[in-house]
Structure 1
Amino acid sequence: MTMRTIFGIDFTSAPRCAKPIRVAEGHRHGSVVRLAGLTALDSLDAFSAWLARPGPWVGGFDLPFGLPRELVEHLGWPTDYTALMSHYASLSRAEIRDRFAAFCNARPVGAKFAHRACDAPAGASTSMKWVNPPVAWMLHAGLPRLIAAGVHLPGHLAGDPSRVALEAYPGLLARELIGRRSYKSDSKAAQTPERLIARLGLVDALEQGRSRLGLRLKLSHAQRDALVADASGDGLDAVLAMLQAAWAAEQPDYSWPPGVDPIEGWIVGA
């Protein structure tokens, strides 16, 4: 049997040298996932080129793969997944923001946004949010490139079965291990000793295999130091997504529960 490489991708919709897309590469041996290395991609074109690498691999991508059905039907957008994503990609960010804002403005306080079925169990933001965090832009920038690369999107769209892309959410695994403690910030002023201690605790928990995934992370001393020292948490988020993908790769249907709406999709482990 060919060993599949496992990837975790901490995605950003506007990658640049100072804030690249982070890719963690690992290999699973039984219940141990060894981190082989971390890569930085500083443009969306570099991301597209990276996606073309031959399989076999399974990747956990920290970006939404779908939209809330309630939103899609309200806007009169296509309800076929491929047609929906093509339509979404054809719109500018300004057009998307205007449509989403009009949807929210017509709704009562406390229920402004529509949600996917996986959002609440994962503790994730709705994929229609355009600020804090701008996950709508992550979907807009990332998903069309996954489709163009011809990767397999289980539950959504058949593609190359040797290159499998799954929706991951690092925050879900992090919260299981350290609760609601914040472990990262892009703001220098917010890169506090408390967040450093939280990253240390998170890495410890991953190495000891304390999550319900039943997997232990294997790091070198240098890798461990680098993950703890990175105050942005981007490398650590890529590693968390990698572990989620490693778990899902061994589950029936890549851990998709029965009856999931392909327009909305599912977050690994939700």
Structure 2
Amino acid sequence: MVEKRGFGLWMTHLGLIVGLLFVFFPIWLALVASTVTQADIMEPPMPLLPGDHFFENYRKALVSGINAPVAWMMVNSMVMALGIALGKIVISLLSAFAIVYFRFPGRRTFFWLIFLTLMLPVEVRIVPTYEVVAGFGMLNSYSGLIFPLIASATATFLFRQFFMTVPDELAEAARVDGATPMQFFRDILLPMSRTNIAALFVILFIYGWNQYLWPLLITTDPSMNTIVMGIKQMFPSGDDFADWPVIMATSILAMIPPVIVVVGMQRLFIRGLVDSEK
């Protein structure tokens, strides 16, 4: 590894700092806007330092909101994101395990049929999916938000590729010791897949948290709004009044759970992406 020293090292750090400032500045403006009054935002120049209405604005957003309390919308988003992430991982693990370790007719065909679903995103199949969900009476429900989105061809493919790198001797040794297929899956494959699971969990949690079109389609009850829907509905239409401090406070609150997940699982996430054995 070549280590940079002197002028090159300083320029590298300077470039990183400038890039970080460009990325962080809009977030800082949103944070400042969430701590001042409406008049401070509407009258230029906008302040660049936080104001003294932090607790007032965030309490108003969490408890009252504009269309619905932000605290409840965050609960809905959390349930949806966790349900999608965990559901995708469980189904993908089991399907990849069956495709790699069980011999049955059409095994390869079934895998490619699963893989071909990558060409059919939610937007393409949204009408028939909506009809199925409505037929089962799952509109305005957590099950309707989660179940249509938990199948994942990408995660199935990644787990299949990893399971194919596991030496066959492990499966043979487990069979000789009298382990059942599910015991082999639980005691050997799952611990070995820990970093892959962590990396996929971070990606899938953010995917579920940021969902907008599907919740917008199947929820009509304001109590089932997700945080992304809530932010969009807060923006004014026509001559309506926009409470910008509350909107900015809601935007900052919406960023907190994904940031916590990424920061809390960053080591496993990075190992799951760059580990040479994967």
TM range (shorter): under 0.3
Name the structure with the higher helix share. Answer: 2
Structure of greater Rg = 2
Q: With structure 1 as the length reference, what TM-score do the two structures score?
A: 0.27
Name the structure with the higher strand share. Answer: 1
Q: With structure 2 as the length reference, what TM-score do the two structures score?
A: 0.26
